[in-house]
Amino acid sequence: MACDYYNCRGCSNETIDEKKTNCSPWSCDKLSVYDWLSDLPMSENSFDIVEIRFKNTRKDFYKNVNKLNLAKGDIVAVEASPGHDIGTISLVGDLVKTQLTKSNTPFNIEFKKIYRKAKPNDIEKWHRSISFEDEIMFEARRIASDLKLSMKIGDVEYQGDKTKAIFYYIAEERVDFRQLIKILAERFRIRVEMRQIGARQEAGRIGGIGSCGRELCCSTWITNFVSVTTNSARYQELSLNPQKLAGQCGKLKCCLNYELDCYIDAQKDFPPISQSLRTEKGVAIHQKTDIYKRIMWYSYDNGNMATAVPVPVDRVQEIIKLNKNGEKVFDLIDKSRLVIELPKLDYKNVVGEDSLTRFDNATPKKKKKKRRKKPANAQSQQKTSDNVKSTNDEKTKPKHKPKITPKLSEENEQEQKPRKRNFRPKNKARNKPKHNSQKPNNEKPKGDTPQN
């Protein structure tokens, strides 16, 4: 079962809200073990030793003397000294045997007993005691600083029956905390147990995210802490930068030991790095080593990696043997036996095929003038204005176009003028103007005068 507010003391995803937790069903607690036998039915003669977890990384093994039907996630009352404690079952069945072997716990010792499944009164009392833990921890730190004790109290764990509390502290030297125990016992009316832990154990109890982006190993699976030295970094050719090599606990990272054996086995036939190589060009000094590629880098200028030359390990051993016999090689690399295998490219290399001057004599292309498209509003406005102009022109346009005659000179004009006659013409229609329908006001009409 996934943990909730009542059994999340050892959960690595514990939240402040009482109603919400971010837990997965099988790996929410610290130092969790995946039960890959959980889907198999349990036999009657199953292993009666049960693993129970308490606050953070504290776990212990208890015996199911009453043959209770227990499952992972059940809250039980177990034996303590004095009184009883409340814990959550983290593992049952045959996998507990492997956990006992892993923790170097013998099978024939007398284990503490499981009394019963926790009752609602037990759980209520247990959580009342849990609510005082942070307050007591801060008060204990203040008292320790007043007593000028060189120690750091990192965590406080109350017992389930609220009769005892365990104070976890870190100290580099031995501390006389007898006065501190008296003050705490008188003020809080409990039995006090002081338990010293290391910096790695404190980091495991608190938890966190490492530089690799995952949860800390000390809070997920490491139980036995092995000492880590700077030789582990030297074997792996790592830079001795304390900021990169140190973890959240302030000590060297535990992961420096994970691949140490592989690096040591790979360097068994490597020559010592303090051995210099003598050639006709000078003395070459070791700069660095690529262990898994079996390449050692040497330079004639000590400390200058720009002039370093990669030399295979077999060639280095050959040069050392010749130097012991008093011989010198011409160069670090024997070019007569050097075979360069170029990698096969899965693409075509077209660099250099095109001429660099292919664009020098090229005639520039004429740019076509792009006609600007008028917006729709402008086009509609132009159409309306054209329509208005056309209507105005039609109104002002005369109905009959006047006849345009070419302009003549004065001589021609006099010749073409009609001669004045004193007699009346026989045919009146001959002298009528063709297109002069309206007579001017100044001229008198020809013919008979109107009679009064």
Task: Return the axis-axis angle of helices 133-146 and 178-188, rounded to nearest 10°.
Answer: 140
The pLDDT value recorded for residue 63 is 92
Give the span between the Cα atoms of 249 and 252, in whole angstroms. Answer: 8
Cα–Cα distance list, 116 to 64, 82, 89 (Å): 9, 17, 12
What pLDDT band is residue 167 in, cutting at 50, 70 and 90? very high
- Give the H/E segment covering residue 269: none
The pLDDT value recorded for residue 107 is 86
Among residues 142, 158, 168, the alpha carbon closest in space to that of 190 is found at 158
Side-chain-facing half-sphere of 254: CA atoms under 13 Å: 19
Interval 17-60: pLDDT, tens: 444 444 444 445 677 777 777 777 776 667 889 999 998 888 89
Q: What mean pLDDT value characterizes the chain?
A: 78
Interval 218-247: pLDDT, tens: 888 887 888 899 999 989 988 888 889 999
Q: How many CB atoms lie within 10 A of CB 201?
A: 23
Give the span between the Cα atoms of 200 and 254, in whole angstroms. Answer: 9
The pLDDT value recorded for residue 169 is 93
Give the span between the Cα atoms of 195 and 156, in whole angstroms. Answer: 10
The pLDDT value recorded for residue 1 is 42
User: Structure pTM?
Assistant: 0.60
The pLDDT value recorded for residue 207 is 86
The pLDDT value recorded for residue 5 is 45
The pLDDT value recorded for residue 17 is 42
Strand partners for 87 = 76
The pLDDT value recorded for residue 94 is 85
Q: How many CB atoms lie within 10 A of CB 263?
A: 15
Report percent pLDDT > 70 for the chain: 68
Interval 280-318: pLDDT, tens: 888 999 988 999 999 999 998 877 778 888 999 999 999
Q: Tokens 């716990």, residue?
A: 105
Give the span between the Cα atoms of 407 and 417, in whole angstroms. Answer: 14
Cα–Cα distance list, 388 to 278, 385, 394, 398 (Å): 103, 5, 10, 18
Among residues 311, 274, 289, 306, the alpha carbon closest in space to that of 237 is found at 289
Interval 80-126: pLDDT, tens: 988 899 999 988 888 888 888 888 888 888 999 999 999 999 999 99
Amino acid identity, position 249 = C
Q: Is residue 79 scored above 50 in pLDDT? A: yes
- Pull the structure tokens for residue 139: 């008060």
May I ask the CATH class of domain 132-203?
Answer: alpha beta
The pLDDT value recorded for residue 362 is 62
Contacts (Cβ under 8 Å, ≥6 apart) of 127: 6
Handedness of CA 250, 181, 54, 21 (dihedral sign): negative
Q: Is residue 452 scored above 80 in pLDDT? A: no
Residue 297 and residue 310 in contact, taking contact as beta carbons nearer than 8 Å: yes
Give the span between the Cα atoms of 10 and 216, in whole angstroms. Answer: 15
Give the span between the Cα atoms of 353 and 340, in whole angstroms. Answer: 25
Give the span between the Cα atoms of 278 and 323, in whole angstroms. Answer: 7
Question: How far is the first Cα of the chain from the last one, in angstroms, to the nearest whole number?
Answer: 138
Q: How many CB atoms lie within 10 A of CB 193?
A: 14
Residue 7 and residue 86 in contact, taking contact as beta carbons nearer than 8 Å: no
Report percent pLDDT > 90 for the chain: 31
The pLDDT value recorded for residue 39 is 75
Among residues 70, 25, 29, the alpha carbon closest in space to that of 49 is found at 70
Domain ranges within the chain, ordered by starting residue: 1-118, 132-203, 226-266, 277-337
Asked which of 11-25, 45-59, 171-185, 362-376 is least confident by mean pLDDT, the reply is 11-25
Exposed (0-12), middle (13-18) or buried (19+): which is 249, by Cβ within 10 Å? buried
- Pull the structure tokens for residue 138: 């801060």
Q: Which residue has the higher pLDDT, 423 or 331?
A: 331
Phi-psi region of 440 (alpha: psi -120 to 50; beta: other; left: phi over 0): beta
The pLDDT value recorded for residue 78 is 94
Cα–Cα distance list, 219 to 177, 204, 322 (Å): 28, 4, 54
Contacts (Cβ under 8 Å, ≥6 apart) of 190: 162, 163, 164, 165, 184
What pLDDT band is residue 15 in, cutting at 50, 70 and 90? very low
Among residues 122, 249, 188, the alpha carbon closest in space to that of 167 is found at 188
DSSP letters of 199-251? Answer: HHHHHHHH--B-TTSSB-GGGTT--SPPP--HHHHHHTT----HHHHB-TTSS
